[in-house]
Structure formats: structure tokens, C-alpha cells
């Protein structure tokens, strides 16, 4: 027993040092991300917390299954503790994401698929706690909240499937952000569809012409809410078939690029690109990010197990009080 | 099991068709008929749900007047969202009734003795579905008349409303059974149901907007498929989980 305690103590100290190291590395080891500045460092905090949120939800569901199967108080304590820790990480991920989005994308909330999913997850956790507080009988509280937890887990796949259909495009890192991944882009034509949307930006093609071995397009860009309207002129190297000049969207740190051009028909394939190089392709960022994932996972396990022990202890104390009460 | 045998005589007197040995569907049908009969005596859920729906639609109509396409290009999606919000909130007021009433009248124990859990669940599900379909028909007709909605593809809208109702009932019946045992029933029902209904709502509103805008059936097939999958998944999960909820 004392050996286990000593091991626990050592693990706790190691975890503390590890997390402190990550916080330091986040600012000193990770290089500044070109175009995003210091805001890019949030990847070390934001992505692991978001990922732990889903892990917590799954852990809680597994404990709920075990509770309904074996009806042990320890399993219920595990389910609650995992849900509580998950709620904490969920809030952290949401707030840090909104903060970052406000700086970089100019709006804290965009009904981006991941934003939708995490908001609904937050609501499910809140509903789970509300249900628990409304059930007085201990056994019934455990049983019914386990049922609700599992029932909510059944709807999650639909949410993951439906959420991407809500917005036409996403600002989240699956397409414009990480190098190597690819947005589809849109074709605009002078003699056809001249107006289109990339994300929530409206683009209108005004002209394409050849200047030397460059193709130059005139594109009117309207930002969401018509906050900014500008005419950008991205260019394309006809010889090498690569985008040349990528102007920045007004008020946002994204770039507009021509990916293909057909001068004869006046057709242009326009796409949105994140500035700078890929964030995780930098090895220092990559390893700090991986270390942060491990650290946050450890933090989650420590938190929920501690909370589960406390819950069990409370339960035992309450039962002892009942046992000592003089019978009426 | 012994309780079943000993209580058989009293049970048979109150609900003859729902004897413990009756086949599942017959027992479920008996529970449904019992619920319909007791609802027709008080008309509590019926009145609450229909008046709520009427007030919502009248309030929208009063506030906005008839909307015209010339005033707003996004009209179909706005109308579809308003229609589903009206249906959703009316459903929140009435669909918990089937189980809450059993607890309040203290008849749940008798029902537990009379038939098996699955029959109770199926009977209540059927009752909720009947109630919701009535609500959907009344709300939609009123909505179309009062807000002067021009529905381009009525068949698709009807199919989506039916599929959406099935999903709504599949998701809320188990939750109604859960909250019937809790201390604050009304508010909790909406709080627990809403996050689970979010995917259904998004799909149903988008599909209905297509139907109102008059797009063809191919624009709604995806929505109908998702709604069908959602209904089947939640119905199956409910069947598995209901036994745990229905324990005394």
C-alpha cells in the first residue's frame, strides 16, 4: 500500500513538472507561426483540451455501461468524475478556441462544425449534471443518469455527421490551415458564375488578364457582414503553373490564391490559404504538441480518479451517518 | 415474478387486454388504448399542446405579419426554422405527460405489475406519436394559413414532418420516462431533450426549407435518410435502456 502511495506521489510530481515544462516550451521552444504571431501558440493548449473532451465523454459512457451492468457505486463515481473533468476541459477548449478565433478569424463564433459539436457536448454535460441534481434517491440518480449518458452517446455520431453540413465551409484547421491538406476552392468564370463563396467570404471575379508570363485576376472580396470590401489581385505563373502573388483578405490573416487558370475561357480556380508554413511540420512544435497531448491526458486521468475517490468517500461517509442515526 | 401471479386478479379487472402473458404487441396496444382513454377524460396534454402551438403561431404572425419573398431572400429557411421551433416547444410541453401522469396519479406501480417494460414503452411511444402527429398537423396548417407560406413541394414537406416526428418521439419518450422520476419535471424535459435533438433539428429544418422553396425530392432524400437512421438508432437504444429506467 505504501509502495503504491509512493508511486502515486512520484507520478503526481512528474506530471506537475511535465505540465510546467509544456507551458515553458509553449512560449520558448515553439517558434512563432508566420502570419499568426503569438496567437498560433494556442495549438499547444487548445487542441489537446478539445481531444481530452471526447476522451472524457467516452470514458464516462464506458463507466455508465459498467454501472448498469454491475450496479457498483464505484462505476457511477467514475462516470460522474470523468464527466466533470470533461466539462472542465470542454469549457477550456471552447473559451481558448473562441479567443483565438476572435484574434485570427475576426469572429468568436462561426457555427463551424467543430464549434457546433463542442457546444452540443457542453449542453449534454450540463443536462447530465442537471438531471443528477434533480433526482433525490441515490440509486435512482445513478441508474437514470447512466441511462441518459448512454442515450446521449448514441446521438453523437449523428451530430458528427450533421454538423459539417451546417456551414458551407469551415475555418477550422482541416482545410486551410495545415500544409498538405487541401480545400476544394471555387471556379469563377467571366462569362458564367462570377460570384461565389469561400468560407463566409463572398468573391466576385471582375477580370482576368495576361501580363507577361503572369495571369492577373481582379477579385472583389466581401467579408462577412460587409465589414470590409476590397479588390484583390492574385497572380499565377503561367510557365510553372504555380500561384505567385497571394494577397491577404482584409482584416483576416488568410491569403487568396489562384490555383488554376484558363485564360481563353476566362476561368479561374480561387482558393483560400493559411499563411506561412505548416504548423506541425516544424519538429519543435510537433514534439511540444505531442508532449502536451500526453500531459493533458495524464492531467485528466489524475483529475477524474481523484474526483472519483472523493465522491466514493462522500458516499461512504453519508451512509455511515445514516447508519448511526437513531431509528425513529 | 411472484408479484405478477399474486396481482393478476386485480390487474385483469382494470386492464383485461394487458394480462402478463399477453403477446408484446397486444400488450403495447392495450397500454396505448388505456392512455388514449385516460387522456380523453382529462384532455390535459391535448389542451396544453394545442393551445401552446396556436399561441406560438399567432404570436409569430402578430409580430411579423405575412413575410414575402421580396422582403427577404432567405425566407424558406426562416419559415422552416420557425415552424420547427413552434413544433419543438409545443412537444416539450406535452410529450412528457404520458409518464409524468403515471407518477402523479401513483399508477406506475400498477402498470409495472400489469405488463412487461417493453410493452409499456411501445404503448407510450405510440401514444406520444399520435399526440405529436396531431400537433404537427394543426401547427403546420395554422402556420401556412396565418403566415401565408407558399409551399413549393407539399409532398416533401409532409414526408419530412412525418420523419421528423418519428425521430422526435423516438428521442423524447425515454427522456420522459427518466424525468417522470425527478423532482423538477417540466424544465428538465426540455434541458435533457434539446442537445439530443440538435442533429434532428438541423436536418429537418434544412430539408423543410428545400421543400418550402419548391425544390425536388432529390433535395430532401438525404435529410429523410438521416432522419430515418436517427429514429432507428434512438429507438433501438431506447428498447435496450428502458428496462433500467422502468425499474421501481
Residue pLDDT, tens place only, B194-219: 999 998 998 899 899 989 988 888 88
**pLDDT of A92:** 92
Name which of B74, B108, B117, B178 to mutate to probe chain A: the one with the most chain A Cβ atoms within 10 A of its Cβ: B178
How sure is the predictor about A294, in pLDDT bands with cuts at 50, 70 and 90?
very high
- Where are the extended beta strands (E) located within B58-182? none
- Predicted pLDDT of residue A304: 92
Q: What is the pTM of this model?
A: 0.77
Q: Answer whether A130 sits within 8 Å of B188, measured CB to CB.
A: yes
DSSP A189: E
Average pLDDT over residues A46-70: 92
**Residue of chain B minimizing CA distance to A167:** B202
- Looking at residue A201, what is its pLDDT? 72
Confidence of residue A233 (pLDDT cuts 50, 70, 90): confident
The H helix count followed by the E strand count for chain A is 6, 9
Q: What proportion of chain B, given as a percentage, has pLDDT over 90?
A: 48
Residue with cell 469572429: A107
Is there a contact between B84 and B164 (Cβ–Cβ < 8 Å)? yes
* pLDDT for the residue A172: 54
pLDDT of residue B97: 86
Confidence of residue A274 (pLDDT cuts 50, 70, 90): low
Please determine, for residue A61, whether its predicted confidence score (pLDDT) is greater than 70.
yes
Is B195 in contact with A152 (Cβ distance < 8 A)? Answer: yes
Residue with cell 507577361: A212
Nearest to B178 among A123, A144, A166 (CB): A144
Whole-complex ipTM: 0.86
Res B17 pLDDT > 50: no
On whether any CB of chain A is under 8 Å from the CB of B203, the answer is yes
Interface-testing mutation among A155, A163, A165, with chain B (most B C-beta atoms within 10 A): A155
**Interchain CB contact of B96 with A (< 8 Å):** no
B184/A contact by beta carbon, under 8 A: yes
CB of A93 closer than 8 Å to CB of A45: no
Residue B18's pLDDT is 46
pLDDT for A174 beyond 60: no
- Alpha-carbon gap, residue A253 to A105, rounded angstroms: 7
Sign of CA dihedral B5, B11, B15, B16: positive
Nearest Cα of chain B lies from the Cα of A94 at a distance, in angstroms, of 17
Q: Taking 60 as the threshold, does the pLDDT of residue A167 lie above it?
A: no
Per the model's pLDDT, the better-predicted residue between A124 and A157 turns out to be A124
User: Measured between beta carbons, which residues in chain A are less than 8 angstroms from residue B204?
Assistant: none
pLDDT at A228 over 80: no
- Among A70-74, A162-166, A235-239, B101-105, which stretch is predicted with the lowest mean pLDDT? A162-166
Q: Please tell me which residue of chain A has the smallest CA distance to B172.
A: A151
Amino acid at each position: 500500500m505504501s509502495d503504491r502511495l509512493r508511486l502515486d506521489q512520484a507520478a503526481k510530481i512528474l506530471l506537475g513538472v511535465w505540465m510546467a515544462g509544456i507551458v515553458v516550451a509553449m512560449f520558448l521552444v515553439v517558434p512563432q507561426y508566420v502570419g499568426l504571431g503569438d496567437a498560433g501558440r494556442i495549438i499547444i493548449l487548445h487542441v489537446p483540451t478539445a481531444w481530452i473532451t471526447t476522451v472524457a465523454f467516452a470514458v464516462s459512457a464506458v463507466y455508465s455501461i459498467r454501472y448498469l451492468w454491475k450496479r457498483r457505486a464505484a462505476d457511477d463515481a467514475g462516470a460522474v468524475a470523468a464527466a466533470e473533468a470533461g466539462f472542465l476541459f470542454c469549457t477550456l477548449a471552447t473559451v481558448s478556441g473562441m479567443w483565438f478565433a476572435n484574434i485570427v478569424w475576426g469572429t468568436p463564433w462561426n457555427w463551424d462544425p467543430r464549434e457546433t459539436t463542442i457546444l452540443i457536448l457542453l449542453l449534454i454535460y450540463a443536462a447530465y449534471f442537471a438531471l443528477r441534481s434533480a433526482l433525490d434517491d441515490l440509486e435512482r440518480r445513478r441508474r437514470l443518469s447512466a441511462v441518459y449518458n448512454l442515450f446521449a452517446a448514441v446521438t453523437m455520431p449523428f451530430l458528427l455527421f450533421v454538423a459539417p453540413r451546417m456551414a458551407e465551409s469551415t475555418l477550422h484547421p482541416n482545410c486551410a490551415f495545415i500544409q498538405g491538406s487541401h480545400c476544394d476552392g471555387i471556379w469563377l468564370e467571366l462569362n458564367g458564375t462570377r460570384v461565389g463563396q469561400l468560407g463566409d467570404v463572398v468573391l466576385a471575379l471582375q477580370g482576368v488578364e495576361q501580363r507577361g508570363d503572369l495571369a492577373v485576376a481582379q477579385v472583389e472580396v466581401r467579408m462577412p457582414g460587409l465589414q470590409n470590401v476590397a479588390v484583390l489581385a492574385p497572380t499565377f505563373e503561367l510557365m510553372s503553373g504555380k500561384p505567385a502573388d497571394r494577397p491577404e483578405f482584409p482584416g483576416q490573416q488568410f491569403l487568396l490564391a489562384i490555383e488554376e487558370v484558363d485564360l481563353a475561357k476566362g476561368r479561374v480556380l480561387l482558393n483560400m490559404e493559411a499563411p506561412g508554413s505548416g504548423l506541425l511540420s516544424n519538429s519543435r512544435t510537433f514534439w511540444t504538441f505531442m508532449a502536451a497531448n500526453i500531459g493533458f491526458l495524464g492531467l485528466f486521468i489524475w483529475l477524474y480518479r481523484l474526483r472519483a475517490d472523493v465522491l466514493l468517500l462522500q458516499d461512504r461517509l453519508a451512509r455511515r451517518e445514516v447508519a448511526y442515526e437513531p431509528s425513529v | 415474478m411472484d408479484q405478477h401471479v399474486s396481482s393478476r386478479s386485480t390487474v385483469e379487472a382494470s386492464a383485461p387486454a394487458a394480462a402478463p402473458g399477453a403477446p408484446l404487441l397486444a400488450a403495447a396496444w392495450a397500454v396505448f388504448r388505456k392512455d388514449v382513454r385516460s387522456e380523453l377524460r382529462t384532455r390535459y396534454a391535448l389542451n396544453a399542446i394545442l393551445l401552446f402551438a396556436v399561441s406560438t403561431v399567432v404570436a409569430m404572425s402578430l409580430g411579423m405579419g405575412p413575410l414575402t419573398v421580396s422582403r427577404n431572400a432567405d425566407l424558406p429557411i426562416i419559415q422552416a426554422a420557425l415552424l420547427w421551433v413552434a413544433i419543438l416547444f409545443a412537444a416539450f410541453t406535452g410529450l412528457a405527460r404520458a409518464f409524468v401522469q403515471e407518477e402523479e396519479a401513483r399508477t406506475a406501480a400498477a402498470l409495472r405489475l400489469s405488463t412487461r417494460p417493453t410493452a409499456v414503452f411501445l404503448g407510450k411511444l405510440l401514444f406520444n406519436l399520435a399526440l405529436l402527429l396531431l400537433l404537427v398537423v394543426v401547427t403546420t396548417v395554422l402556420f401556412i394559413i396565418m403566415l401565408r407560406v407558399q409551399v413549393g413541394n407539399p409532398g416533401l414537406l409532409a414526408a419530412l414532418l412525418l420523419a421528423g416526428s418519428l425521430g422526435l418521439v423516438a428521442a423524447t419518450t425515454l427522456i420522459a420516462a427518466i424525468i417522470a422520476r425527478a423532482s423538477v419535471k417540466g424544465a428538465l424535459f426540455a434541458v435533457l431533450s434539446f442537445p439530443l435533438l440538435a442533429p434532428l433539428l438541423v436536418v429537418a429544418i434544412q430539408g423543410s426549407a428545400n421543400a418550402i422553396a419548391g425544390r425536388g425530392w432529390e433535395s430532401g432524400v438525404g435529410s429523410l435518410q438521416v432522419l430515418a437512421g436517427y429514429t432507428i438508432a434512438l429507438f433501438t437504444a431506447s428498447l435496450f435502456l428502458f428496462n433500467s429506467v422502468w425499474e421501481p
